[in-house]
Amino acid sequence: MRLSLTEADEEFRATAREWLLANAPKDRAPPDGQASRDYALAWLARCHRDGWSGISWPTEYGGRGLSQERLLIWYEEYVRARAPSVLDCTFVALNHAGPTVFACGTEEQKAFHLPRILGGKVIWCQGFSEPGAGSDLAALSTSAVVDGDHLVVNGQKIWSSFADVADYQELLVRTLPGSKRHQGLSWVICDMKSKGITVRPIENMAGVTHFAEVFYDNVRIPLSNVVGGLHEGWKTAMTTFGFERKTAAIGLQLELSVKIEDLIALAEPLPGSATAVRLGELRAEVAGLRSMTYRALLREPANASDGSLVRLSFGELAQRVYRAAMDILGPDALLNGSWTHDYLESYSETIAGGTAEIQRNIIAERILGMPRIK
């Protein structure tokens, strides 16, 4: 077991730090709408221009092909520089769809989509959840019937963040008529400009309108857009979730290390006070979360579901950090929109990407080997 960086790693860190210092935008990113798209794509394109996008992506598709250590270093410097939150409208493309296309896609799909994603040319959104299929994703009913060399999609998706400004969607649909549960699904690339798509944005409790409902009325999608095989969509979606629960959140987890330090500095707790104890304990837990992030990247997983441990820890810890900010900063938290915003947004951390309750079921059943719920 070792955590030793080479001189070359340290040089990489110094270069990353210097570049971020000179280039990371200082203004606050617009949270939604066309402005959020323009801002995020401009920032990603600038990263890409100077070789700072796709750090661990393979070089043949425009990435840097660097090691996990370098990826960690990059994110550490990224959050240190307080660069724009990684959870912006490029998140799905960079952390979900891109890695899934890379893992399960055809050569044509990879060659077309991956460079566009890394180059900051396109926005992707997710199309998994439905009004009747939230935690129970396998209950989804949006249908896609094969018609010649196309699929014809009818139905509805929901909680699709940035669908209103997206170019593509990772869409999970039922392609085998009459199929049940995990069978007969397909993971397809949906062009959001296709005829028959209607997007209705939904405002969230933080006052931000990044997610949306998407309606499909006889939307035609080429069969060549299926990723990972027709009717094999559940397997592809599990690959997507694997990324979501493992690598996607590195930036978010490390970001919490900066937030807790900011909070401690702002709170100036009296030594020995209840506030000092609370902040000290949160600081320890954020350190523990960071160690879990390291472990997820630098150790062979004992179990494919291990990511659920990190995901659940992060979500609940983020909420406790922001709740502490609201309690400790008092009126200052309300006066400073950024803490209140983070606090309100953090409610989604135990809902999105599998609720805390679902994560606990996964941990119990797939890691601890407890009986499955029938």
Partner 1 sequence: MTCDLNLNEDQRQILGAASVMLEASYPVARRRQRRPDDLAELAAFGAFGLALPQDGGEAGYSVVEEALLHVLLGRHVVSTGALAASLAARLAANTGRSDLADGIVAGTTGVCAAIAAKDSALLVERGEASFALLFDGRELALLDMDGIDARPVESLGHGIPLQRIASGEAREIARSADDELADTADLLISAQLLGVAEAARDLTVAYANMRQQFGQPIGGFQAIKHHCANMAVGAEMASAQLDMAAIALRDRRADASFQVAALRHLAEKAAIFNTRTAVQVHGGIGFSAEADVHHYLKQAHLLSRLGAGAGLLAMPAPLAPHEALIRGE
Interacting residues with partner 1 (CB under 8 A): 1-6, 9-10, 13, 67-69, 72-73, 76, 79-80, 254, 257-258, 260-261, 264-265, 269, 271, 276, 279-281, 283-292, 294-295, 298-300, 309, 312-313, 357, 359-361, 363-365, 367-373
Task: Identify which of residues 104 and 310 has a Cβ nearer to partner 1 in the complex.
Answer: 310
Q: Which C-beta is closer to partner 1: that of 223 or that of 351? A: 351
CB of 316 to partner 1, least distance (A): 8
Q: Can you read off the two tokens belonging to residue 95?
A: 């952390």
For the chain, the first-to-last Cα distance in angstroms comes to 41
Q: What is the largest CA-CA distance in the chain?
A: 72
Q: How far is the CB of 43 from partner 1 (least distance, A)?
A: 21
Spatial separation of the C-alpha atoms in residues 95 and 152, rounded to whole Å: 27
Closer to partner 1 by CB, 73 or 104: give it: 73
Cα–Cα distance measured from residue 198 to residue 68, given in angstroms and rounded to the nearest whole number: 40
DSSP reduced 3-state for 244? helix
CB of residue 50 to partner 1, shortest distance in Å: 21
CB nearer to partner 1: give 9 or 191: 9
CB of 340 to partner 1, least distance (A): 23
CB of 131 to partner 1, least distance (A): 24
How many angstroms separate the CA atoms of 310 and 188, rounded? 28
Q: How far apart are CA 102 and CA 104, in angstroms?
A: 6
Catalytic residue among 69, 76, 244, 255: 244
| Residue 62 three-state SS | coil
- Strand ranges for 241-284 from DSSP E: none
Picking from 214, 210, 170, 255, the residue whose alpha carbon sits closest to that of residue 36 is 210
Phi, psi of 63 (to 5 degrees): -85, 180
> In the complex with partner 1, which residue's Cβ is closer, 2 or 195?
2
**Known catalytic membership, residue 107:** no
Of 291, 286, 305, which is closest to residue 365 (Cα–Cα)?
Answer: 305
Catalytic residue annotation: 244
